[in-house]
Structure 1
Amino acid sequence: MKAECSAGDIPTGYKQTEVGVIPEDWDVKKLEEVVDIDADNLSAGTPVDYAFNYISLEDVDEGVLRSYSSQIFGSAPSRARRRLRYGDVLVSTVRPNLKSHLLFKQRQGEWICSTGFSVVRCKNSSAVPSYIFAHLFATTIPKQIESLLTGSNYPAINGKDVKALLIPLPPTITEQKTIAEALSDTDALIESLEQLIAKKRQIKQGAMQELLSPKQGDKIRFLKEVSSLKGRIGWQGLKQTEFTINEEEPFLITGMNFKDGAIRWNEVYHISEERYEMASDIQLRPADVLMTKDGTIGKVLYIDTIPYPGKASLNSHLLLFRPIKWSYYPKYLYYQLCSQRFKNFVEESKSGTTFFGLSQAAVGNYPVLLPPMEEQVNIATILFDMDSEITVLEEKLAKARQIKQGMMQELLTGRIRLV
């Protein structure tokens, strides 16, 4: 791998290397020159009653240890072999493109990880673990890994590949530490936002449980009694080849466009005006509620506004709900269909063996709770305000991640020097 620039593009004080342009006083080394790799493993003679905490590939998600299990050597998975200690870097060698890497920070107990990881242990005064770890999520090392995977039938690398990975290194440990600390500060902000979002979601779930549960005075009606349920009849001859990206034409919404109750309009295809006019029953308007009825069943969407040209239809995998004679507040129904009560109903009602579906008739038999209209509005407003707060935090989180990615690109290549 070589990122090349012409001589005129290289700034003064920088040089072209196998991993791109870096400062003249930086060096490029193979990982094996500055770290030990897979140096500490359990032997076949390990006592069968040896107890430890075990980390599998599935337990790690992009730098976060989501879970682990307690094991006894005699009954542990055969891959449970790599010994761990504080500061080790776990490099996922199986499906490394998923970036299930981890900086190990546990100080207490016996810890073992799967041989699906290569364990990188920094040699004294040669490298800083957090600096090495940061490179796994930047561009230099992922590009090398991607090159190794090209043409392979099985997405994996081995310990030999890891040893040969090239990494740019500042001239001093102090500079490595300074870079790692700057990135760690950003990580702390990201982690705090993630925790706050998780807490807000938990609070919202509790509020939904409380607000959407049956209460004295609530009416119960079958959904088909209070709402029209409309869907595209088959495809009405509509073919995928008719989908366009012409932004002047009406939208065609599919379940793939749903995300957290909102729609990603920039990803929605368009259909001709003629096709749009052929199905007047499913011409969408603000305050409509949509739901997927097959494939990924029960994903729900509330139509707030429809961007230019202000016209949208839906494909045959969706159902459209619209109140009969203002029998319910649409946003309240949206939250009812997001409730655990409705999810349980879907699980009990879906049919199929390999491809599940939910019939329009089955959905119509859902017993929907209907408090007085004023209460419906209040409930929907409370939950919508919670959603709005979560959305603001998610936007801050996305911005923080974007800033970190930019910092990594600048700091880990020496474009910006902190010492």
Structure 2
Amino acid sequence: MVEGYKNTDAGIIPIDWNSPVLSEISDFENGKAHEQFIDDKGDFIVVNSKFISQDGRVAKYSKANLSPLAKGDIAIVMSDIPNGKALAKCFSVDKENRYTLNQRIGCIKPFEQIDNDYLFYKLNRDKYFLAFDSGSGQTNLKKSEILACPVALPPTKVEQTAIATAIKDVDKLINQLERLLTKKRNIKTGAMQELLKPQPDWKENTLGETATLKARIGWQGLTTAEYRKQGKYFLITGTEFKNGFIDWGSCFYVDQERYKQDKNIQVKVHDVLVTKDGTIGKIALIKSVPKPATLNSGVFVIRPIANSFHPEFFYYLLLSEIFSIFLSQLSAGSTINHLYQKDFVTFKYFIPKTIDEQNHIAKILSDMDNEIEELDVQLTKYKRMKLGIMQSLLTGKIRLKK
């Protein structure tokens, strides 16, 4: 044991910290059913599992406040599916007379000597609660189980507040970046609608006449048993598509024999990929190939014939509502789980007559994507930094004492 620390039910903490159970530092209340009072014009936000798990982005409203929440209260999700992401997720109440607590959501009311924000950060998805999830069957936390949670607690409210403030400062940076990212993505969406709108001098093409479509054919029989976690040859299945590109870090691998089996689906820079099974119509552009890569049977690779279009321009065209409308027309209102080549080759689209003009439009949108990607990298960095700060501050590894 490191000098100055002690082992407790709340983990290894500084010797002057305490480890009370939640019942010793807070009160607890259960929520109530609001079904009969749900109304889009209601005055009160219903704090339910979806509201908390979606960080307040999805809300229902109630005409009645059956279970009022006060500013500083902490709402906690008590039920979830096996391995769910909502169990023990918390919401810190920031306004009076605005929220009402739904059933299967608990309300923790910290005592006066406890900093509400500190306790929120400490309890949110705490491993103590997650241990109740067996991985099979729904988890239902009991009031007694919640109140028995041990809490690593600094000796003074001043130190608790200092810790919470440090974490909140990082949260503010994360929220600012998320808002900026949303704004940039909305701007890009508007730019795509404007830049890809067919002009009078644009020409109409049919996909089957201007591009080759290739995919792993059925007789090759690649099975999931052949997927490798390590290797020299990437396998793209469609699940690695992220924001229009390939997340190479999440790819499986295949053996060399499977990679060399079909040259037509050996991935190249500027290839445009489209999923044709499961969630159909997901799009990815190959910007780089860090290792040799091939496709499974659920992905098309599209390449222009004789420079018939600029690949990156076509990629943005597929990301637009033009392709979405085409897919919806194929489905005719029903759900389709396969995009057949015989249907896809009939896709008609308009493009500028010159490659230079297509390239100009693609570059404008690509520059926007690069800016969004840089912000996304920065956001990931801040989120990792927050986790590190929380791990150090909430366990007392780093002290913030005045």
Output the TM-score relative to the length of structure 1.
0.87
What secondary structure is seen at the aligned counterpart in 2 of 1:12? Answer: coil
Partners of 1:123 and 1:176 lie apart in 2 by 13
Partners of 1:56 and 1:285 lie apart in 2 by 47
Shift of 1:42: 9.1
Q: Equivalences for 1:95-244 in 2 at 5 Å?
A: 95=80, 97-98=85-86, 100-107=89-96, 109-125=97-113, 127-137=114-124, 142-150=126-134, 153-244=137-228
Does residue 394 of structure 1 match 2:383?
A: no
Q: Comparing 144-153 with 113-122, which one deviates more in the overlay?
A: 144-153
- Matched pairs, number: 392
Does residue 380 of structure 1 match 2:362?
A: yes
Flag the 1:196–1:321 CA change in 2: closer, same or farther, 3 A.
same
Residue pair 1:197, 1:394 contacting (<8 A) in 2 also = yes
Shift of 1:280: 2.3
Partners of 1:388 and 1:339 lie apart in 2 by 18
Partners of 2:134 and 2:256 lie apart in 1 by 43
Partners of 1:170 and 1:243 lie apart in 2 by 48
Residue pair 1:81, 1:115 contacting (<8 A) in 2 also = no
Partners of 1:42 and 1:241 lie apart in 2 by 47
Task: Kindly provide the CA deviation profile for residues 292-328 of structure 1, in whole angstroms up to 9, marking residues without a partner as x.
Answer: 01201111111122113xx322111111110010000
Aligned to 1:32: 23
Aligned to 1:4: none
Aligned to 2:76: 91
Structure 1 unpaired stretches of 5+: 1-9, 74-79
Shift of 1:413: 0.8
Flag the 1:282–1:36 CA change in 2: closer, same or farther, 3 A.
same
Output the TM-score relative to the length of structure 2.
0.91
Aligned to 2:239: 256
Q: Equivalences for 1:261-280 in 2 at 5 Å?
A: 261-280=244-263
Shift of 1:278: 2.5
What secondary structure is seen at the aligned counterpart in 2 of 1:376? Answer: helix
Flag the 1:40–1:327 CA change in 2: closer, same or farther, 3 A.
closer
Does residue 404 of structure 1 match 2:386?
A: yes
Backbone CA RMSD of aligned residues: 2.5
Partners of 2:240 and 2:135 lie apart in 1 by 32
Flag the 1:39–1:128 CA change in 2: closer, same or farther, 3 A.
farther
Amino acid at match of 2:344: V
What secondary structure is seen at the aligned counterpart in 1 of 2:76? Answer: strand
Shift of 1:266: 2.6
Residue pair 2:32, 2:103 contacting (<8 A) in 1 also = no
Aligned to 2:281: 298
Amino acid at match of 1:369: F
Aligned to 1:3: none
Task: Kindly provide the CA deviation profile for residues 361-410 of structure 1, in whole angstroms up to 9, marking residues without a partner as x.
Answer: 21111111111321110111111111111111111111111111111111
Shift of 1:284: 1.9
What secondary structure is seen at the aligned counterpart in 1 of 2:159? Answer: helix
Match of 1:19 among 10, 13, 29: 10
Task: Kindly provide the CA deviation profile for residues 123-179 of structure 1, in whole angstroms up to 9, marking residues without a partner as x.
Answer: 222x11101110134xxx622112222376212212221111110111111111111
Flag the 1:370–1:41 CA change in 2: closer, same or farther, 3 A.
closer
Residue pair 2:30, 2:105 contacting (<8 A) in 1 also = no
Residue pair 2:208, 2:345 contacting (<8 A) in 1 also = yes
Residue pair 1:60, 1:102 contacting (<8 A) in 2 also = yes
Partners of 1:41 and 1:318 lie apart in 2 by 47
Flag the 1:243–1:150 CA change in 2: closer, same or farther, 3 A.
closer
Aligned to 1:53: 45
Shift of 1:81: 4.3
Residue pair 1:350, 1:356 contacting (<8 A) in 2 also = no
What secondary structure is seen at the aligned counterpart in 2 of 1:204? Answer: helix
Aligned to 2:326: 345
What secondary structure is seen at the aligned counterpart in 2 of 1:29? Answer: coil
Shift of 1:25: 1.0
Q: Equivalences for 1:329-368 in 2 at 5 Å?
A: 329-350=310-331, 356-368=337-349
Aligned to 2:398: 416
Flag the 1:51–1:245 CA change in 2: closer, same or farther, 3 A.
closer
Residue pair 1:345, 1:366 contacting (<8 A) in 2 also = yes
Shift of 1:197: 0.6
Shift of 1:122: 1.4
Flag the 1:40–1:59 CA change in 2: closer, same or farther, 3 A.
closer
Partners of 1:42 and 1:348 lie apart in 2 by 41
Amino acid at match of 1:283: Q
What secondary structure is seen at the aligned counterpart in 2 of 1:228? Answer: strand
Partners of 1:129 and 1:383 lie apart in 2 by 44
Partners of 1:294 and 1:387 lie apart in 2 by 26
Q: Comparing 282-291 with 178-187, which one deviates more in the overlay?
A: 282-291
